[in-house]
């Protein structure tokens, strides 16, 4: 029987919320959760509002038992199975929204994982200022007062599992998710695969690149970047743009389907891509050209991806014996191609001006458009034709350097080196 989705709100003590979380009764499902993005100031303000009694923003949870029944009634069999697995593990609810309030605010403070600066209230509701204090260092009456404070818990009932991402997106309409955070809420197995790899094997690689600051990673820039890279290397998607609409499509095609049923998520393509990305990860770890205090240019990532893909697809012809030198080889060739293309464009414009003195500057510039040159193609990687043109130019130059024995990081095959 299909029932209407309902919700009930109640004030629950901080102590009870902490106990439920510590007792693992509340499940946190990464599929549709943004990362913990709150800055220290926001955390302090939330903790203060809980103590003061003015924390009106709630923690939203979904009831698992009624959700299981609703999933079955709606024919959401995959969702029902996920609910059942959570329930079998002792979970009673799924945290739908409020992860920052719960984990970065309440749990981190009460578990002494963070310090607090601001005003707290004791059992008599008398305020006192604290500076960089951990919970365990608070006077006992302030500890008791905080644990007895209440937060608003909203419990959603009768919600099929496949509805949870949509509920999550609506809850965050006033505090907008970026497009990557929204994509992560799709019920598509590819989102878990990409996120698990970003937060696992490659977790230390992404922050080494420009554009992947700690805050950017909290807002899932690494996941966006890995999605683009996978689409670039994937035979089923390499000719697509990788703008937001295209990445949305890439995630949406797998909603409520196992990856084995989605050609674009082909297992062989995923394994191939991870092997290629491993070359970059190892290079980033072992290169000595860019110190840890600085970041590697994004442009160099895409150059390394193209060359690593070429080497991988060469079926063992090329063995990298120095990843530090590999970085220097690729970065050097890429930088030279950028500079050479700028000089070439400048020369082409001068020639066009000499040959067509009657044309104005705008007309002359159309005779040597930016898109025809490597330096600009590096900036237009989201466009397939520019991506392909850059890759062709780069790989052709890599091959020439190998033939000239001027790519010292690899051992070239005899048949090629002798040509």
Q: Are strands 6-13 and 26-27 parallel, antiparallel or unpaired?
A: unpaired
What are 150's strand-pairing partners?
A: 13
User: 195 near 184, Cβ under 8 Å?
Assistant: yes
Q: Which of the 8 DSSP states describes residue 121?
A: E
Q: ∠ CA 306-395-190 to the nearest 5 degrees?
A: 20
pLDDT digits (tens, 9 = 90+) for 174-233: 556 788 888 887 878 999 999 999 999 999 999 999 999 988 998 899 999 999 999 999
Q: What is the pLDDT of residue 398?
A: 98
What are 320's strand-pairing partners?
A: 410
- Read off φ and ψ for residue 399, nearest 5 degrees: -65, -40
Is residue 413 predicted with pLDDT exceeding 90?
no
DSSP H helices in 242-297: 244-252, 267-286
The owner of tokens 């050479």 is 340
For residue 85, give Cα distances in angstroms to 94, 143, 149, 337.
Answer: 12, 36, 33, 54
**Beta carbons within 8 Å of 9's beta carbon, 6+ residues apart:** 58, 152, 153, 154, 155
Cα of 37 vs its chain's centroid, Å: 13
Q: What is the pLDDT of residue 98?
A: 80
Q: Are strands 26-27 and 93-97 parallel, antiparallel or unpaired?
A: parallel
| R_g over Cα of the chain | 27
pLDDT digits (tens, 9 = 90+) for 18-61: 998 888 888 888 776 677 778 899 999 999 999 999 987 788 89
SS3 state of residue 147: helix
Question: How far is the C-alpha of 131 from the C-alpha of 319, rounded, in Å?
Answer: 56
The owner of tokens 């998520």 is 265
More confident residue, 322 or 96: 322
Q: Which of the 8 DSSP states describes residue 90?
A: T
The answer to whether the Cα torsion of 340, 281, 239, 248 is positive or negative is negative
Percent of the chain with pLDDT over 90: 78
**Beta carbons within 8 Å of 180's beta carbon, 6+ residues apart:** 219, 220, 221, 223, 224, 227, 247
Cα of 261 vs its chain's centroid, Å: 24
pLDDT digits (tens, 9 = 90+) for 121-164: 999 999 999 999 999 999 999 999 999 999 999 999 999 999 88
Q: How does the average pLDDT of the chain come out, rounded?
A: 92
pLDDT digits (tens, 9 = 90+) for 348-377: 999 999 999 999 999 999 999 999 999 999
Q: What is the pLDDT of residue 347?
A: 97
Question: How far is the C-alpha of 21 from the C-alpha of 8, rounded, in Å?
Answer: 19
**What average pLDDT does range 317-331 have in this prediction?**
96
Question: How far is the C-alpha of 258 from the C-alpha of 144, rounded, in Å?
Answer: 48
292: alpha, beta or left? (left if phi > 0; alpha if psi -120 to 50): alpha
pLDDT digits (tens, 9 = 90+) for 372-407: 999 999 999 999 999 999 999 999 999 999 999 999
pLDDT digits (tens, 9 = 90+) for 233-285: 999 999 999 999 999 999 999 988 999 999 999 999 999 999 999 999 999 99
User: 180 near 220, Cβ under 8 Å?
Assistant: yes
- Selection from 139, 153, 140 nearest residue 50 by Cα: 153
Q: What is the pLDDT of residue 218?
A: 86
pLDDT digits (tens, 9 = 90+) for 64-109: 999 999 999 999 999 999 999 999 999 999 988 888 888 889 999 9
- 231-269 exposure pattern, b = at least 16 Cβ within 10 A, e = fewer: bbbbeebbebbbeeebbeebbebbeeeebeebebbeeeb
What is 304-349 written as a DSSP string?
HHHHHHHHHTTTTS-EES-HHHHHHHHHHHHHHHHHHHHHHHHHHH
pTM above 0.75, yes or no: no
User: 178 near 220, Cβ under 8 Å?
Assistant: yes
SS3 state of residue 130: strand
């Amino acid at each position: 029987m299909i029932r209407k989705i309902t919700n009930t709100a109640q004030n629950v003590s901080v102590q009870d919320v902490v106990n439920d979380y510590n007792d693992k009764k509340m499940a946190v499902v990464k599929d549709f959760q943004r990362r913990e993005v709150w800055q220290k100031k926001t955390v302090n303000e939330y903790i203060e509002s809980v103590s003061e009694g003015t924390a009106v923003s709630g923690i939203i949870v979904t009831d698992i038992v009624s959700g299981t029944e609703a999933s079955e009634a709606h024919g959401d069999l995959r969702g029902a199975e996920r609910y059942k697995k959570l329930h079998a593990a002792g979970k009673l609810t799924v945290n739908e929204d409020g992860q920052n309030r719960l984990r970065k605010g309440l749990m981190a403070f009460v578990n002494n994982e963070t310090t607090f600066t601001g005003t707290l209230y004791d059992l008599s509701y008398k305020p006192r200022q604290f500076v960089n204090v951990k919970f365990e260092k608070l006077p006992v009456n302030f500890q008791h007062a905080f644990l007895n404070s209440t937060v608003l818990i909203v419990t959603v009932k009768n919600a099929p599992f496949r509805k949870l991402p949509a509920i999550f997106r609506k809850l965050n309409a006033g505090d907008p998710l970026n497009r990557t955070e929204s994509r992560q809420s799709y019920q598509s197995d590819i989102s878990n695969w990409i996120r698990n790899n970003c937060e696992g094997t490659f977790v230390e690689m992404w922050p080494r690149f420009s554009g992947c600051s700690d805050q950017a990673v909290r807002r899932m820039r690494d996941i966006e970047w890995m999605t683009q890279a996978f689409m670039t290397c994937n035979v089923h998607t390499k000719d697509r743009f990788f703008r937001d609409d295209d990445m949305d499509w890439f995630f949406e095609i797998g909603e409520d389907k196992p990856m084995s049923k989605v050609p674009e998520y082909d297992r062989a393509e995923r394994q191939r891509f991870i092997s290629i990305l491993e070359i970059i990860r190892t290079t980033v770890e072992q290169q000595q050209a860019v110190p840890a205090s600085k970041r590697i240019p994004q442009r160099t990532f895409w150059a390394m991806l193209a060359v690593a893909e070429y080497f991988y697809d060469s079926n063992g012809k090329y063995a990298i014996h120095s990843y530090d030198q590999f970085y220097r080889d690729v970065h050097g060739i890429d930088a030279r191609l950028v500079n050479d293309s700028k000089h070439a464009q400048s020369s082409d414009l001068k020639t066009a001006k000499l040959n067509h003195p009657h044309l104005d500057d705008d007309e002359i510039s159309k005779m040597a458009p930016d898109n025809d040159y490597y330096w600009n193609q590096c900036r237009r990687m989201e466009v397939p034709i520019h991506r392909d043109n850059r890759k062709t130019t780069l790989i052709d130059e890599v091959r020439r350097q190998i033939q000239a024995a001027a790519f010292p990081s690899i051992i070239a095959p005899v048949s090629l080196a002798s040509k």
